Amino acid sequence: MRKRILILMLILASGLTLGYARSEQRRVPASRSMLEDPVFGISYDYTKVHYEPMPASVRQVCADYKKGTFWTFAHVQREAVDYFIVMGIRPGQDGDSLGAAIAVVGSDCTEEDSTWMFSGLIPKGGYGPQKSETTLPGLKSEVCNQGECYYVLKSAKEEALLRDLVRDGLTRAAKAWGGLEQFKKEACRPATLQGNSNTPVVQLELTNFCNLSQ
């Protein structure tokens, strides 16, 4: 009798364990499909919101992107330079996906964190004669004061580049979300607008977009 009870308990325990494992198998992929777009900071499920793949030409030039699945969130061309905002998933990735700003000139690839680039402050007194000495706004422009770091845009050209990237990002996002109205429901939430307070150019362009789309 005791032997039968022991066997029954083992069967029940194994069933519970197996059921838990199956539940975890269903739950983990679902959570890992959630990402945060690198332009507007909106959370989305990449199995339902479909951004365009990153061009194969970028993979060939930028060594960090040869393996994995990456998407294009914004693209602007200025003379010989192609600027991209990209993000993706690498094999064996064990952390959050972070966006990158990439500048491709011929066979040269320059990269920096996209959030940092979009965080550039617009100078209150306007732009002086100083010009950007780097390919991407924000590179080598960090200023730190009492532990807080920031950078100020150096020229109207840099500001225009960021604005054009955001505008292109709006067009791509609307397409990825399946239409303008679907994207607006997420992009024009007060929490989304406020959430971009640390990226002033993004906040300005997103606010204009939401106001004009009403």
- Please state, as a whole number, how many other Cβ atoms lie within 10 Å of the Cβ of residue 198: 13
Per-residue pLDDT tens over the stretch 200-210 = 999 999 999 99
Per-residue pLDDT tens over the stretch 3-40 = 443 333 333 344 433 332 323 322 233 347 899 999 99
Check whether 108 has a pLDDT greater than 90. yes
Per-residue pLDDT tens over the stretch 110-139 = 999 999 999 999 999 899 876 666 789 999
Q: Which among 106, 35, 105 has a CA at the least distance from the CA of 70? A: 35
Residue 27 burial by CB count (10 A; 0-12/13-18/19+): exposed, middle or buried?
Answer: exposed
**CB of 99 within 8 A of CB of 106?**
no
Summary mean pLDDT of the chain = 85
pTM: 0.82
Q: What is the mean pLDDT of residues 89-114?
A: 90
Give the pLDDT band (50/70/90) at residue 171: very high
Give the pLDDT band (50/70/90) at residue 95: confident
